[in-house]
Structure 1
Amino acid sequence: MTTSVVAVPDGRTLLAVVVTVLAWASAFVGIRAVGQDVSPGALALGRLLIGALVLGALVARRGWVRPTGRDWRLLAVCGVGWFAVYNVALNAAEQHLDAGTTAMLVNIGPILIAVFAGLWLGEGFPRWLVVGMAVAFGGVLLIGAATSGADADVAGVALCVVAALTYAVGVIAQKPLLRRLPGLQVTFAACVIGALCCLPWAGALVADLERAPTSSVAGLVYLGVVPTALAFSTWAYALSRMDAGRLGVTTYLVPPLVILLGWWLLGEAPPPLALVGGGVCLVGVALSRRRSRRPVAAAPVPVS
């Protein structure tokens, strides 16, 4: 019997992981704050435009690997799903739900990725995946019950599920791309495609920015530079040096960090029953990652 040795990440890789998790956690709080002055579609467009500019400058320094026709199709799925629809749905969800509840709901994304991998990548449906799905679904029901006092809150839950679904589809499309194209280039191309999809909100973006206070404009710039351009870059750096499954586990820290940041910066916290539901969702995600054989590669909580 041979024993596999797991490499210990070096200091730079660990730093990249920390930066990624903190940046993505801060995005949920930033969206909640900026969303008071900028509409969901306009916020998605502004963030993606800024992220594309920063990523484009980085890609220009490293060169361009020519994508194939299949690559472009996968990039389109990733850009439309993960960057465009996901961002608009997430921004709209945070019009109705606090940042912590939103983060907990979107954290069902890794389970959905495993389901799609079983359907489309031939990775099957292990017993623990099915168990984890059932447990996580129970957590979603608890969060839904905690926010059922108003139709708008139920709509927020539905929007979070849409965000998690489109995120998962985008990740599945991205997975084969990273075998041939640099991660930074994939992120840049998907970001540009997402921005193009959000162009119908260009007029709303201009109008919102004219009325928005300086703090919201600065928040929009932050969302484009840090959680989008920087965090995706640090994620790609860490992913090239760590197993995807081990790296994906670190994103489970995002929801509790969002709850702490939301309480500290926004003075809000999820309802108690939603916290219980979020905990159940995390347990479900953890159970879904149990494997008797080779684990399915995990993915980060949707880029926020």
Structure 2
Amino acid sequence: MAATITTITPPNVSYIQMDSLVIMKIVKHVDSELYAGMSEVAGEACQGLLTGLVSVEKDDSRLEITNCFPTARAEPILESDENAAQANQMYEELKQQEMLDMLRKFRNMNIDYELVGFYQAHPFGACFSQDLVDSMYDYQSNGPDGVVIIYDPVKTRQGQLCLRAYRLSVPALELCAKNDWSPDAVKAANLTYQTMFEELPIVIKSSHLVNVMMAELSLAPTRIADRFSTHLELGSRRSLEKSVRAMMANIDELNKSISAYGKYVNDKQKHDNMIYNLTQKRPINDAMLTENNCYSYDVLQGPEDQSDDVE
């Protein structure tokens, strides 16, 4: 995680404007890797970096994403490998070098080269994890308007383009800066799963020729027989199987989290009961200690000293 920041700068943009070129490059990159099995072998999501600029005007503040490029793919490394640490370090250096080279080429070609976020591909949109929070904190620490674009390849294969833009909320950034994710800290910050991320609307920008073509297609006469043709129906068996498998894995993780939370609640309740019992016993112990001190003073004084006191 990046170094903690003292002040949290609120974001300025209210929506995302993406070029159609960026969407086509993301779809092509994901199709070439995800359905080839490279993501499963590498053990990480298919991802890349986004470039663009922030346009803040009087009544219009938006983040324009004009280009993107994929990140370097790491080769699978066994955990028992002796050179695993060295290989991971080499991969990080290679990844950083390729990113700098690509940004330098963008600058030479007069293309927007400012990093504004990154994109990831997650089937069914199952993207929320601690790694995503850490990455978003790094980007938003350098620039408050950094976002992540989540692309759902399964839903897109079913005929509906699925792109979602997220960013961390200000309370989540403050917790990341403190690096304290204890239940008490999360409750004190009034942070829930609904307020941790902020979703931004996405507007797709197309060229004028594409807009004219879409207008001609919408005005063209359609055939009812072709509209309800069976060959246009997309099969859902493969996506249904993936959905069930992902649900089973998420249910297992949910059961583990529930068990861990139940153990935490029980331990906290025992600790609170112990503090309450000690608090209730303290006045009794103080009274007994005072009585014992008075008795010890009488014993040490003796009967002769007591008779002298009487005389």
Same fold (TM over 0.5): no
The alignment's TM-score, normalised by the length of structure 1, stands at: 0.21
Higher relative contact order (CA 8 A, sep 6+): 1
- Structure with the greater alpha carbon radius of gyration: 2
Structure 1 or 2: more helix by fraction: 1
Which structure shows the higher strand fraction? 2
